[in-house]
Structures are given as C-alpha cells and as structure tokens.
Amino acid sequence: ICFVCANYLHAYIINIELYEMGWNLKDGLRDCLVAAAPYGGPIALLKAHNRRSPSARPQLEIFSSSGLPLASFPWKSGVVKQLGWTVSDDLLCVQEDGTLLVYDLLGGFKRHFSMGNEVSQSQVLETKIFHSPYGTGVAILTGALRFTLATNIDDIKLRRLPEVPGLQGAPSCWAVLTQDRQSKVLVANGSHLFVLDNTACTPVTPPGLSPQASSIVHMCVSFSYKYLALLTDSGHVWMGTSNLKEKLSEVDTKIKAPTKQMAWCRRPKSQQPSAVVMWDGLLLVVGECKETIQYHLDDDSILVPELDGVRIISGTHHELLQEVPGACEEIFKIASMAPGALLLEAHKEYEKESQKADEYLREIKEQSLLSEAVRQCVEAAGHEHEPETQKTLLRAASFGKCFLSNFPPEQFVGMCRDLRVLNAVRDYTVGIPLSHTQFKQMTIQVLIDRLVYRKLYPLAIEVCRYLKTPEYQGVSRVLKHWACYKVQQKEESDEVIAKAVSVKLADAAGISYSEIATKAYESGRTELAIKLLEFEPRSGEQVPLLLKMKKSPLALSKAIESGDTDLVYTVVMYLKNELNRGDFFMMLRNQPVALSLYKQFCKHQEQDTLKDLFNQDDDHEELGNFYVKASYKEQRLEARIGHLQSAVDEYYKAKNEFSAKTTEDEMRLLRFQRKLEEEKGEQLVGFSLHDTMTTLLSVGLHKHAEQLYKDFRVPDKRFWWLRLKALAEKEDWEELEKFSKSKKSPIGYLPFVEVCIKHHNKYEARKYVSKVTLEQKVKAHLAVGDVEGAAEAAIERRNESEIGTVLSRCSATTDHLLVERLNRAKATVAKK
Amino acid sequence: MAHTERRDAPGLPDFSLLKRLARDQLIFLLEQLPGKKDLFIDADLMSPLDRIANVTILKQHEVDKLYKVELKPIVSSSDQLCFLIRPRIQTVKWISDLVNSDKVAGRFRRYKIIFTPQKFYACETVLEEQGVYGDVTTDEWNFYILPLDDDILSLELPEFFRDNFLEGDQRWVTTAGSALHLLQSVYGSFSKVYGIGRCAKMVYESWRELMEEGEQRTRQPEFAKVFLIDRDVDFVTPLCSQVVYEGLVDDIFRIKCGSVEFGPDVTSSDKSIKVMLNSQDKVFDEIRNEHFSNVFGFLSQKAKNLQTAYDKRRGMDIQQMKAFVADELKGLKQEHRLLSLHIGASESMMKKKTKQDFQELLKTEHSLLEGFEIRECITHIEEHINRQVSMIDSLRLLCLLSITENGLLSKDYKSLKAQYLQSYGIEHLLTFANLRQLGLLEEQQAGETLTVMESKVGKLVTDKTVGKLTDAFSSLAKKSNFRALSKRLALVPKSGEEYDLRVPRDMAYVFSGAYIPLSCKLIEQVMERDGWTGLEEVARMLNGQEFAVTGGCSSSEARNKTDAQRIVLVMFLGGCTYSEISALQFLGKERGCRFIVVTTAITNSARLLEALLDNGASV
C-alpha cells in the first residue's frame, strides 16, 4: 500500500486536512456566530451577544480559511442575528431590527439597507443567506412568523411570502430553494411540509418518508439546489430530490439527540447521495446504504457546504470531506488494475530503472488503454491536494504520453497550469483552499477578483501572467484595482501617488485612468484626480469627471481636444445652463471650436443669441453679415431697409467701407425699385442692379435705366452690353444701329455681330463687320459666314493661326481657289 | 480604354457586402417598431436609401406610406411614424413641432427617429428643449458608406464640406473615422496610412481610437494603404471645368448618387430617362475616363460594330437564328439602348461645349493655370460677369484667379466684386465673406504686417498649443503657393508641346493636357516615396499637417506581395470630382495598382461653390 492510499480507507469518503488553523481562539467556536464563505472564502466570527451586559462590545473578526486574521473591529451597531457572505466576498450582517450591514473582506464598511418596515417592527427571528445565479439573497423569518425574501441584495426587491397555515411558533426548520428561476421557502411545521412561493403556500409530502417521524427537525438543500435531505425526530435521514418527486434513500442514524448542522456532501454528477450530519462531538456521513461512517469531533465545528464536498472548520483544524473522485479511486484502490494505476506503477518501476516498467506498459498498451491511463493520471492529479502526489501522477502521465503519438497536449498542460495556480492560492498565507472542480466552476476571472479583494495584487498579476489571461481582462484589471486602492491612501502626497500609479500602469493596455481618477475624487482628492486624468489618453473619458468636479474650462478644452463634437456639445450645453450668460460667452470666446459649434446651434435655434455673441466680440463684420442675411428673410421693404441700415452701421464700424457703400447702394436701389414699382407697376423689388436695368430696358424705360447707369456708376461696358442685348431682344435693329453710332463702343463691335447672328439676322450683322477691330476681323467675317472676307483679312494680317482657322472652314470642293490662296499665304508667312 | 493596361492589376474587394450590412441593420431597426408605420425620409437620403433597400423591401417590413421630409405639416393617418433622417437640428425641430401639435390635438401616435449615420447630442438637446424627449424613441442606422461603383465609395455627406471647412464644425470627423473603421473591420487592417490636412489628421485620430477600443482581429487585409486628404489641400482641381466624359456628364446633367436623368433633348423622345452610371454599363465603362474629344469617335465605332453584330443575322439558317435571338439579341439590344443614350448625351454636350463661350472659358482657365496673360483673363472674367453669363462660372473663375495669383490686387478685387454684386445682387456679400474665409477668393494684403495677420489667423486656428500657431503662418503662406507648387510638382506641362489626348501620357489628360490635378499628383508622389520624405517643402507649402503611420498589420505581413498590397484606398474629406477619380484610375493602370476612392460626396465646381452661397435658398 502506498502512502497515498491511507486516506481512502473509508469506502468512498476522503477526509483531507486543509490547514491547521492559524488563529488563536480562546474558546474555540463555542458561542460564536460563524460564517464561512463557500469556494474557500473567508471566515467571520462574532462572539454571541451577552444579554446581561449589552454595553459590552463584541469583536467582529474576519479570517482567511487558514485562520490568518484579515480584519478585526469592535461591533458597535445593534444585535446581530446572522452573518453571511455575498458572492463577491462581502460580509453581510443581519441585525435584529432587519437592517443589513455590508462590509468588505477587510472590514471596511460599504453600505447598509433595511429589509422593510414589517421586518423592523416584528424583529428578525431567523435568517438564511443563500446564493443563486441571480446573486446573493436573504430570507428572513420575522417575529410575526412571516417570511420576507430578497433574491439579490444588490438589487433589492422585497417579497413577502404568504402565511403558513397553522404555524403557532417558530417552524421546526426551513430552507430556501431556487427552482424554476424563483426563490421559494420550504418550511416544516412538525411533520407537515410546505412550499412557499410568491403567491401560494402549498403543502407537500416527501415520498416514502418513514411514518415513525412526528416532526422534521432539520433540513438541508444541496449546493446545486437539486437535492434535499430531511432529518426527523426519529433519527431518520430522508434524502431525495428537492422537488419532492423522488426519494433516493432513507437511513436510520439511531441517534435522537439534537443535531447541530446538516449538509450535503456530494460531487457534481455523482450517483451517490450522501449527507453529513453533525451532533456535539460526532459527525456522521449517511449514504445510500444502511451503513454510516462516523467521525469523532474533539471540538466545536461548523460545516461549510461546497460544490464537491463539505469543509469542516473547528477551533484548530480545517478539513475537507469529499467523495473520492472516480479517477483517484481507480488509481489508488488496493490492487487496482485500472490503466491509470498500472501507468503509475510502470512509471515507478521506470524510475527504479527496472524492466518491469516495460511489462506494465505493455499490459496497458495491449488493451490499448494508454491514453485512458494518461487521462486518468492527469485527472487524479487535479483532485489531489498534496503537491508531491500531484507531481507523481503528472510525471506518470507525462511518461505515458511519450508512448502516444497523437495525444492532445491541452489537458496535460492545462492541468499543470491550473495546479500551479491552485497550489499558490492554497498556500497558508493566502488561504483559499479551492479544489480543482471548484476552481473550474468559479473561473479564473473570479479567482483574480478574489485575490484583488484580498489586496494580493502581486499574486493576482503573477497568476494572470502565468495563465496568459488577455491583458485587459487580467493584468490591467488588477492594476486598475490596485490603483483605485492606492489613490485612497491618505497618508501619501498627490505627487507620489500619481507618479506611482503612472509608473506601474504605464504600459498596461486598456487602463481607464478616468475610473481611477473618479475613485480619487470620491475619496475627496480632487487635485489627485486631475493629475491622474492627465494620463488618460482618451480625452473623451476625462470630460464627464471634469464636469463633475466643476472644472469646466478644463473639461471644455479636453472635449475639444478629443475631436468628438458631441462631447463638446455636451459640455457647451452643460455650461450654458451652469454659468451666467456673460461668463459663458467669455469661456466660449477662448475656445473657437466650441464657439463655432454653439453658433451653428444658435443659427437654427436662437438667432438672437447669435447676435449677442457677435456683439460681445465686437465682431462688426459678422454683425453686418448677420443683418444682411436677416434683411432678405424679411418680406416688408421697410424692415428690409431697416436691417440693411444696421448692416451699414456695422460695416462702418468694421472699417469695411466697401461693404458699407455697397449696402447703401442696395438701399438706394430698393427705394428706387419700389418707387418705380408703384409708378409703373413693374415687378422690380429684390432684383439685382443688372436685372433691374434689363427689365427697365426691355419695357422701354430707357430714361430710368439711364438714371441707374449714372447713379450707380455702372461701367460703360456693362451698360453697352445691356443695351445691345435688350435692343436685339426686341429686334429693334434701327435703334441698335443708332446706338452703335452714338459713340465709340467700349466693348468693340464684335459683340454686335455676334448678338445679331444669335437672333438670326445676318443682314444686320454684316453692317457691323466693317467696324470690328483688325484683330477680330477674321472672327467677325466667319461669324456672318463670309469665308472670303475672312480669308482676305487673315491674309492681310499674315497670321498663321488665323489662316489655319479660315482654312478649316473652307470646303475643298467649293472654295478651291480660296484654299490655294490661303495655302500660299500660309507658306509665305511660315517662311518669314 | 485606348491605352494599354497592365495585365496584373489586382482584383477589388466585394463592397456589396456593405450594402447588405446596411440593409440588415435598417430592417432590424424597422422591426423595432412593429406594425404598420409611415416612413418619412430626408430628401437627400432618398437616392442612397433606394440603393440599399427599395420600396418593396420597405413594404415587406410594414412600411405603409413613404413621404419626403419637407419641413411642412404632414398628412398621415398612421398611428406610427418613423423618421429616417440625417442628424440635423432643423429636421429634429420640425419633428418636435409635429409631436407637440399632435399632443395639442389630443392625438396619440408612436414616433421613432432613426438618425443616420449617427445621432448627435445637439439633436437630442432639441428634443429635450421642445419637451418631447420622452415621446419619441431614437435609434442610429450606421449607414456610413454607400458603394457607388466597384471602386467608388461615398459617405453621401455633401454638407461635410461646408460644415467642416467653413463653419468649423467638426462633427462629421467621427463619422469619417467610423467609416474607415467599418471598412477595416470588414476588409482587414491596413499596413500604412498617409494623410495631409487638419481634418485628415483628426479623422485618423478618431479612427485610431476606435481601433484601440475594439478587438484586434488579425486577418489577411484586403487593402494595403490608405491616403487621407482634405479638400482644402487642393481647391484648384475641383474648380476647373471637367472634360473627361463622366466629369462632363456630372457638370452638365448632375449625376446624383451614381445615376443621372437624361432629359428629352438627350433621349430624343418626350420623356426623361434615369440611367445608372457604373461599370455595369459596358458602354459607359469604356468611355467614362476618356477625354471628351475621343468619345464621339469611340461611340461611332461602337455603333458600327453593333451594326455588324446585327448584320450577322443575314445569311443565318433557322437554327443559327434561334441561337442568335436567345443568346445575343438581348445583349445587343441593351447595348443598343445604352449606346443611343450616350450618343444623345454626347451630342447635347457637344452642342453646349463647342460654343464660343466654353472655348474661351477653357482658354481662360488654362491661362490662369499657366499664369499667362493674366490681364486678359481678368478682362474676360469682367466681361463674363457683365454679360451675366453664369453666376457660378463667374465665381469659379474669380476663385481660380485668386488661388493661382495669390489673391487679387486690391483694385481688381474691389472692382470685380462690385460688378459681381451689380449682376447678381447684394446677398453675395455673404458669399464673398465665405469665400474669403476659406481662402478661395482674397484680396492681396498690402499694408498689413505679419503680426496683425498672426493674431487674425491665430483666432481661426483652433488648437490650444502654441505649435499650432506655426500652422497659422503656413496657412498664411499657403496662399502664395500654387505657382511654386505647380513648378515643383510639374503640374502644368510645358506649353507649346502637342498633347495627343487619344494616347494620354500622364494624368494631365483629364484637363486636356493642361494641368495635372494637384491632389492626384500628391498621392502619386507619396506612394512612390512611401512617405513624405523629399516632399517636406511641398507639404509645408500645403500648410503641413502631413503624416504617415504604419498601421495595424505587421511589416512582415505587409511584405507579402499579395494583391492587397497594390490596392490603395484614397479618402477625400470634403468631396472629390470625377476627374480626380479618372486621373487616379489612369495612375493605377500605369503603376499596376488599383485605387479605391472613398469620398464624403462626389463634388464638382458647381456643388463646391453652391455650398458656399449664403442666399436665402441655401440656409
């Protein structure tokens, strides 16, 4: 028999000693309120209240699972009825008056809340704290014998459950069940059993409960809420499913003394139901068969149900009781021929350099069970708590692996990693005695959280690095927690902390400095918060906190830096409501981006504010533009002119004489247009000067057009164009000719030719050809279709490109002679 | 294309995926308001929406009636109203009024606003101020990119230009960043990002932040490089008349969201026809990037070929005829239809463009670009204004004159401006103010000392640090730079040389050989040098703000000479013209790579200047 097997004497239950407790308790656990969190969590102790001297303040103490002190402080609040732990390792203290106080693992007060008026009036009789997928819940039995229940203390929704019929005093026992996504209470009143849910109280009977029982004195629900165990006053333990549909077994303990505690001891997927019942000095494991296993307890102990067993904590020791894992049983059973056992043997022989190793191996390989053997060894290693045993098993597995070609390495490698982490956290100084099964259930993220709660930052980071957790889920997260903790340390100066934080967090990915800064701000260190925000690379993240800290100018410039317009808007709108108008404008003035955004907003929403903004800046140019814009939105002429007058004033102030003069001209024009409109009934108001003149000329109001020409210093060229076009439009060729002779045309005479052609009057067009300047002669001739004339002119001017143009217009057949002449001329020109 | 193409041009990623994504999200959002509902759509979203989800699809998801948002009271009997809008304050205000008037009338309806591509806080503020925040539900349709063609992606945000460059409102920066991020998450990360311009830099920053927040995915990238460019880096190119077929069609008929409506003068019938212009149209695909002077010849050749194909029928036996009808006839008919449309369009354009006016306009433009006979140009512009030829064209010439000549002499500026106002009305005082603010049309500052300018420009420059003030100086200097840039980058080929437009030798062909688009030349140079080394002087003249960053995927990956490495994504912030796209296509073919153009909108000279008008109609 090897050394490992000693623990396996009792058929299928293994008792592992986890720790010798590091605490030094005077009276052990006697007369104490004790609460130990599952998954190897911390332990809280509170000496029972001394009714006779209520002024004496008991000490509340928190220890790790190995009994190392984590916190200790005198209890100053009311009478505590119950202690318990939340899923995130916070301590819950339920007071008699229905108030719940929440402390963190290191004794820091977090918050408190009440379980409602009804509870505080009728006082708390009994409490149960339970965990479900929805978080940590609390169920309270009040002095009025009613149940009040909250499924999640982080999101309190109190439910008062229906009355239990015939309940005179406290029920003999009760438990909380989570079924069908609902929390229910199972109550025993004597031999009657009831299920309480939101709406009803339903009597139930466990199938096959032995008739001798007159009362159910104890009950417990398994970790998974799937199974239920009942203990009757006749000493029988009934075990079945928690929906009370099926009985698994019933065992007579033959002990009728009052029990202290009962718990399920069962691993997931195990077929064997087994419960642990504890009396004073005695522990009994009951299972499927009639046999029970007994342990003697020297000391007051408590049971802590776990996912895969029960932990037993006494004043001196901490043990884990669990069903022997299948793989371990196969391997360590005496004279086992399981492949894993053979592989272990083979490896042992191999170490001894004995040829027996080969024989064992051969035996396994013949049955082609080698991969099964390796798998068994790896799995068994996971269940072992002793590093030496783990190593032996893993070495055996690794040895076996050598003879397999295609064995996937993940399982082996994963297990080695997991075990390394588990051994580290099981260490006495850390004190988290997690089993591998629990670890897998809880996930690495949660484990890291727990390490962080205990402020074991270096270890947490080591774990993350070792398991190669993605940085922002692992290392960065730990560092963030560390920094949040760091900024609350009052004794250090802002500079030191800021520096320390920045140095540590420098190259970590995905750190949100703003979160850390928020923490600093919350603990009253605004200056530190601002310093920390400087490290935040995303300026967008800085803004909300800066606003909260009333650092609005900084918030505004950060928002602008972020380039996120929405953020700038957020700040601007916040400031608009927060500051008085003057200050607000002043602030915008220094921030052009914010100002232009706000102007955009005002353009659509608050025209007047826009004006005020320009006014404040003495931006007369913009004000002028503003009025001009306003003017053409007006329908009434008076208002229009009014706006323009304001614009003129502003332009003068802006020393923009050009704009001022132009605007004044516009006012004159408008007045002129209206006058004429009234006199002649011609639609004119709003036209440009050019359009006005066109209209006037087209209706024959030459005098008025002439007047505009003089008054507004219209350039001659424009006026000639206008006249020319207007006359051609009316086909008043006689007048046009007269006009052409009135004086020398400032636009030349080519336009005359072209305009006539445009109106298909070649005859008139020809009249002007002769007047065209020499440079434009060719063009003019071509325009009227006189190729010969064009040729003549081109040759005369000896211009090669013009000759070319004319040539391109000649057709070879009809203008044979001309083409020749042109070609000749071209040649001559080219020669020169 | 007439010129030879490199055979190894890489294939393009499939952008239709973006449409599918957008459609799925829209459907999801519509389903959020179950039951029959009336849908109100912003006018400028109509065409893009049609490309994503047509009426049939909308009806399938219980859209009852469709309305255009007109900012007027509505007639709808539906109990559920859904608004699909751009995040604009005006529109939201209109919806608020609607809700409030329903309230007064005691009418109960459900309202849902879907903002696209994103919500803005300012819009929600309006809802809050109008007291209807609780009455409407809001959502975002992250429809950032509309693929207009295989290689043209558009954000369809024409207002980007005015908002960002004129109003100093940077709210679309994040939108552009998100668009890039979307492309990246669908098509893989980029190996290198280059850019120039203030806005480009901000877009890159916003994109980078999104990258850092999101998960890093390593996958084979489908693009190699990204080039971001601000529109205000190059104003000259969009101000020039376009002479490449697609650009010309855009200038004359206005291509809207990848489709154009040809009027009766083109279709030679009495009704207008709407045509999609993209690479699906085989006729169009062959001529889109051609200089206009070649198009006619090409089309007539094409017509002849078509005739030959039709003529094959003669002498066929029954069996062959059957096969012909089944296989070819439909294709031929389709081609025939398109061909006749494009011939019609060409004729109509020819009529307009061969006129004296247009020829002189081009001549003036070319003179301005060359810096030749400026006095005559001014006279021509003056005449142009005096004759009231075209409001936009006159403005365009003025701007070109100002940019190429580093502002107008004070005397010229005042006289031209006065004449312009006489022609087109005083409200253009505001237009001139806007153009001046953008640096498009300026008066040469004679007396002002640098320090005065410094404080003036300092106000315009928005960043906090002192370093930015140097930018202000360079932006001051920028104005004088077109000539220097043109010389340094050889934008204007030596005059006098014959340029055969049928065989283009460089990108200048898109402007009849007179000018290589500055934007495209810049991209070419940066790609060639793989960064800005050696272009420092050029960048300084362009107001700096250039950057080159090695992107997401590692350099070893980037070394892999995959197809993806030869695909370059160019993002124009503030719009790009079809001529620029043609020039880039040409460049791509020369260099054996492909350019994908992402733009905030397709623009041209008219759109650019219309965005800067400030008369009653545009506000």
Residues of A in contact with B90 (CB under 8 A): 604
Give chain A's radius of gyration (CA, Å): 49
The sheet that has A192-196: what strands, in order across it?
A173-179, A182-189, A192-196, A201-204
For residue B218, the model assigns a pLDDT of 55
> Do the chains contact at B171 and A625, CB–CB below 8 Å?
no
A153's CB contacts (< 8 A; 6+ apart) are A86, A92, A100, A102, A113, A135, A136, A137, A138
Residue of B nearest to A541 (CA): B209
Find the Cα–Cα–Cα–Cα dihedral B437, B442, B447, B451, rounded to 10°.
30
> Considering only CB atoms, which chain A residues are within 8 Å of B427?
628-629, 632
Phi, then psi, of B30 in degrees rounded to 5? -65, -35
On whether the CB atoms of residues A625 and B429 are closer than 8 A, the answer is yes
Distances in Å between the alpha carbon of B549 and those of A201, A276, A764, B189?
A: 70, 67, 69, 13
B97 touches chain A (CB under 8 A): no
- Substitution target from B380, B421, B432 for chain A, most A beta carbons within 10 A: B421
CB contact under 8 A, B170 and A593: yes
| Chain Cα centroid distance, residue A178 | 30
The reply to whether residue B462 touches residue A625, judged by beta carbons under 8 angstroms, is no
Q: Is there a contact between A593 and B168 if contact means CB atoms under 8 Å apart?
A: yes
Put simply, the chain A residues between 272 and 301 with a CB less than 8 A from any chain B CB are none
pLDDT of residue B187: 84
Q: How far is CA A613 from CA A583, A616, A622, B430, in A?
A: 12, 5, 10, 18
Kind and range of the H or E element at B65?
Answer: strand B63-68
Whether B214 and chain A come into contact, CB under 8 Å, resolves to no
Q: Output the pLDDT for position A396.
A: 92
Per-residue pLDDT tens over the stretch A156-168: 888 899 988 888 8
* Three-state DSSP state, B153: strand
Q: Is the pLDDT of residue B363 over 70?
A: yes
Q: What is the pLDDT of residue A140?
A: 93
Q: Report angle CA B173, B175, B180 to the nearest 5 degrees.
A: 100
- The mean predicted confidence, pLDDT, of chain A is 84
Q: Do B93 and A605 touch (CB under 8 A)?
A: yes
Q: pLDDT tens digit string along B197-254?
A: 889 998 998 888 888 776 655 556 667 789 999 998 999 999 999 989 999 999 988 9
pLDDT, average across residues B490-514: 81
Give the burial class of A696: count Cβ atoms within 10 A of its Cβ; 0-12 exposed, 13-18 middle, 19 or more buried. Answer: buried
Does position A423 have pLDDT exceeding 50, yes or no? yes
- Write down all domains in chain B, each with its CATH number in brackets: 15-143 (3.40.50.2060), 144-234+492-618 (3.40.50.1910), 269-354 (3.90.830), 357-405+407-477 (1.25.40.850)
- The whole-model pTM stands at 0.70
Quote the tokens at residue B533: 């080394």
Q: Is the pLDDT of residue A564 over 50?
A: yes
pLDDT, one tens digit per residue, over A97-114 is 889 999 988 888 889 999
CA A734 to chain centre: 84
Specify the pLDDT at position B219. Answer: 58
Residue A4 scores a pLDDT above 60:
no
Tens of pLDDT along A718-773? 888 888 888 888 888 888 888 888 888 888 888 888 888 888 888 888 888 888 87
Spatial CA neighbour of B281 closest among B243, B326, B245 = B245
* H or E element at residue B134: none
For residue B216, what is the nearest residue in chain A, using CA coordinates? Answer: A470
Query: What is the distance between the alpha carbons of residues A151 and A129, in angstroms, rounded to a whole number?
Result: 10
Place of tokens 């294709």: B331
Pick from B193, B173, B212, B466: nearest CA to A563: B173
Give CA–CA dist A158/A138, Å, rounded. Answer: 10
Position B83 scores a pLDDT of 93
Average pLDDT over residues A785-796: 79
Q: Which residue of B has its CA nearest to A783?
A: B356
A179 touches chain B (CB under 8 A): no
How many other C-beta atoms can be found within 10 angstroms of the C-beta atom of residue A589?
A: 14
- Return the minimum-mean-pLDDT range out of A278-282, A780-784, B310-314, B497-501: B497-501
Q: Which of A564, A590, A664, A775 to mutate to test the interface with B (most CBs of B within 10 A)?
A: A564
Residue B242 near residue B607, CB atoms below 8 Å: no
Q: Can you tell me the distance from the alpha carbon of B595 to that of B583, in angstroms, rounded to the nearest whole number?
A: 10
pLDDT at B466: 42
- Which among B89, B430, B464 is the nearest to A629, CB-wise? B430
Average pLDDT (A117-124) is 88
Burial of A313-345, coded b for 16+ CB within 10 Å and e otherwise, reads bbbbbbbbbbbbbbbbbbbbeeebebbbbbbbb
A521, containing H or E segment: helix A513-522
What is the arithmetic mean of pLDDT over B583-597?
Answer: 90
More confident residue, B136 or B334: B136
Mean pLDDT of B522-532: 89
* Residue position matching structure tokens 């590091």: A22
| Chain segment B430-481, per-residue pLDDT in tens | 899 889 888 888 888 754 444 444 444 444 444 444 444 444 444 444 455 8
Contact yes or no for A784/A776 (Cβ under 8 A): no
- Count A/B contacts: CB-CB distance under 8 Å: 126
Q: Which of A307, A306, A248, A310 is nearest to A284 (CA)?
A: A310
User: Using a CB-CB distance cutoff of 8 angstroms, which residues of chain A are in contact with residue B89?
Assistant: 600-601, 604-605
- Check: CB of residue A638 under 8 Å from CB of residue A608: no
Give the strands of the sheet with A109-114, arranged side by side: A80-85, A91-95, A99-103, A109-114
**Please, are residues B601 and B155 in contact by the beta-carbon 8 Å criterion?**
yes
More confident residue, B557 or B311: B311
pLDDT of residue A12: 61
Q: Which residues of chain A does B461 touch, with a Cβ-Cβ cutoff of 8 Å?
A: 592
Are A33 and A80 contacting, i.e. CB atoms less than 8 angstroms apart?
yes
Structure tokens at A330: 């196969």
Q: Which residues of A touch B614 (CB under 8 A)?
A: 625, 629
Is the bond leading into B117 cis (omega within 30 degrees of zero)?
yes
**What is the spatial distance between Cα B532 and Cα B431, in angstroms, rounded to a whole number?**
36
- Residue A523, φ and ψ in degrees, nearest 5: -90, 25
Contacts of A597 in chain B (CB under 8 A): 122, 168-169, 171
Q: Provide the 3-class DSSP secondary structure of residue A85.
A: strand
Per-residue pLDDT of B300-309, as tens digits, reads 888 888 888 8
Q: Which residues of B fall within a CB distance of 8 Å from A604?
A: 89-90, 93
Contact check, Cβ <8 Å, B121/A566: yes
Q: Please tell me whether the interface predicted TM-score (ipTM) of this complex is above 0.85.
A: no
Question: In this complex, is the C-beta atom of B209 within 8 Å of any C-beta atom belonging to chain A?
Answer: yes
Q: Which residue of B has its CA nearest to A716?
A: B386
Measure in Å the smallest separation between the Cα of A729 and chain B Cα atoms. Answer: 14
User: Could you give the angle at the alpha carbon of A645 between the alpha carbons of A641 and A650, nearest 5°?
Assistant: 145
Question: Do the Cβ atoms of A563 and B202 come within 8 Å?
Answer: yes
- Hunting for tokens 């198009």 — which residue is that? B295
User: Is B592 in the A-facing interface, judged by CB distances under 8 Å?
Assistant: no
Give the pLDDT mean for A426-438.
90
Chain A residues inside the 8 Å CB shell of B388:
690
pLDDT number for residue A393: 92
Residue A38, token pair as written in the block: 């599952």
Measure the CA–CA gap between A28 and A21, rounded to whole angstroms.
11
Distance from CA of B167 to the nearest CA of A (A): 7
- Between CA A436 and CA A433 the distance in angstroms is 10
pLDDT for B449 equals 41
Query: What SS3 state is found at B483?
Result: helix
